[in-house]
Amino acid sequence: MSGIIIHSCKEQNLDELVALCPFNAIEIKSGQLEINAGCRMCRICIKQRPEIFTLNEEPVKTLINKSEWKGIAVFAEVSSDSVHPVSLELIGKARELADRTSQPVFCLLVGDRVEKTGETLLQYGIDRVFVYDRPELKYFKIEPYAAVFTDFIEKVKPSAILVGGTPIGRSLAPRVAARFRTGLTADCTILDINKNTDLDQIRPAYGGNIMAHIHTPNHRPQFATVRYKIFNAPEKTSPVGVVERCDIADDKLVSKIEVIEVKAKESVRSIEDAEVIVVAGKGVKKQADLSMIDELASSLDAMTAGTRPLIEQGWYDPRLQIGLSGRTVKPRLIITCGVSGSVQFAAGMQAADNIIAINSDPTAPIFNLAHYALVGDIYEVIPGLLKRIEKSGSVL
């Protein structure tokens, strides 16, 4: 890293040298001058006393040969013999990005007896599916899965890799990215690509107050994880790609983790898969009033959800929270009741097909997203909606 180098200070007035820095970053320790963490790299000391202070320049980076890295790869996560929906969404996005730069789309498939799944993946427009099919890979274990992922990258050299933001993806992607000393952008909401195959990765930052644009022009592969329900899954087409079976040394599959028993989680209805959602916000005055939200949801065969303040009050299960710190949804219809529409919340639901917002504040940010805006008190509007639904069977 660049920094300030201090040369010989013999016969110098150290106190005068310390006084050069307006940020108190020069200090005396054991009779010697040192630069502490307060250094702002303003270089005032260098300008004043260049014979004492000089700049330690960073070494010139060797530019990466981007022509050696081609294609966009997707890690296809398999659960219960089926591909996780987020992987299919990423395949669709990978195809879109690859078509802009005339690159192929690859898929990495890892597991036990998953070769047939590879044939199925070809129906989504993938050029090559690389299958690592071994009994040792039946269950997710970080060491062998990371070794397989590393082997795949070394053999194929994809320019960019997309991984689902699932518990497995969030564990696996950073470990592999670290092995290649490349960056990883987590929870991307927008992905784009340049003609030179540089990936534009955009995600909310600082609690959703800004959108960070991450660009890694001198690193390959480029890693990004994406949450479920951000992109659209592609339609099935006639397969044109091939499945390529890969092998790996036995010692790479050794793990210190032993799976003793696997218990399936109880299947619950998820708001991520809901077609219609009714969301309660801070406009709901007390917990008992949630019955009004439940009644509206019931009349539409919808699921209920909440914003972060209601989750923190214990009014809803955390699995029913929408937003950056909750779930991302993309229903056909979402009705927000007393929701202001913070950036954090909007990031989790703005892709909905139809958004109806009810809020008494006409300047509420949620109205910037809504397709239909109802300015009014939810305690007056919702009963009116219920009567309309009962009469016509529709909320619109």
Q: Output the domain CATH number for residue 292.
A: 3.40.50.1220
CATH number at residue 34: 3.30.70.20
Q: Round to whole Å and give the CA distance between 29 and 27.
A: 6
Are residues 212 and 324 both part of a single domain?
no
- Residues 153, 181 contacting (CB under 8 angstroms): no
Among candidate residues 118, 121, 126, 114, the one with its CA nearest the CA of residue 71: 126
Structural domain contains residue 231? yes
Are residues 236 and 154 both part of a single domain?
yes
Q: Round to whole Å and give the CA distance between 101 and 143.
A: 33
What radius of gyration do the chain's Cα atoms show?
27
CATH number at residue 139: 3.40.50.620
Structural domain contains residue 213? yes
Structural domain contains residue 263? no
Are residues 135 and 153 both part of a single domain?
yes
Are residues 241 and 95 both part of a single domain?
yes
Are residues 240 and 176 both part of a single domain?
yes
Structural domain contains residue 225? yes
Q: Round to whole Å and give the CA distance between 396 and 388.
A: 9
Q: The whole model's pTM is what?
A: 0.77
Residue with tokens 């997710």: 140
Structural domain contains residue 363? yes
Structural domain contains residue 264? no
pLDDT for position 324: 82
159 alpha-carbon distance from chain centroid: 18
Structural domain that includes position 20: 3-56
Between 290-299 and 378-392, two packed helices, what is the crossing angle to 10 degrees?
20
Q: Compute the CA torsion angle 79, 81, 84, 88 (nearest 10 deg).
A: 160
Are residues 189 and 293 both part of a single domain?
no
Q: Round to whole Å and give the CA distance between 305 and 327.
A: 10
Residue with tokens 């109880």: 266
Domain count, the chain: 3
Among the residues of 66-140, which ranges form H helices?
85-101, 115-121
Are residues 275 and 303 both part of a single domain?
yes
Structural domain contains residue 61? no
Per-residue pLDDT of the chain (396 residues), as tens digits, is 458 889 887 778 899 999 999 989 999 988 889 998 888 888 899 999 999 999 887 665 667 899 999 999 999 999 877 899 999 999 999 999 999 999 999 999 999 999 999 999 999 999 999 999 999 999 999 999 999 999 999 999 999 999 999 999 999 999 999 999 998 999 998 999 999 999 999 988 776 677 889 998 889 999 999 999 899 999 999 988 999 999 999 999 999 999 998 888 777 788 998 999 999 999 999 999 999 999 999 999 999 999 999 999 999 999 999 988 889 999 999 999 999 998 889 988 988 999 999 999 999 999 999 999 999 999 999 999 999 888 776 665
pLDDT for position 266: 76
Structural domain contains residue 266? no
Q: Round to whole Å and give the CA distance between 201 and 222.
A: 9
Q: Round to whole Å and give the CA distance between 88 and 230.
A: 11
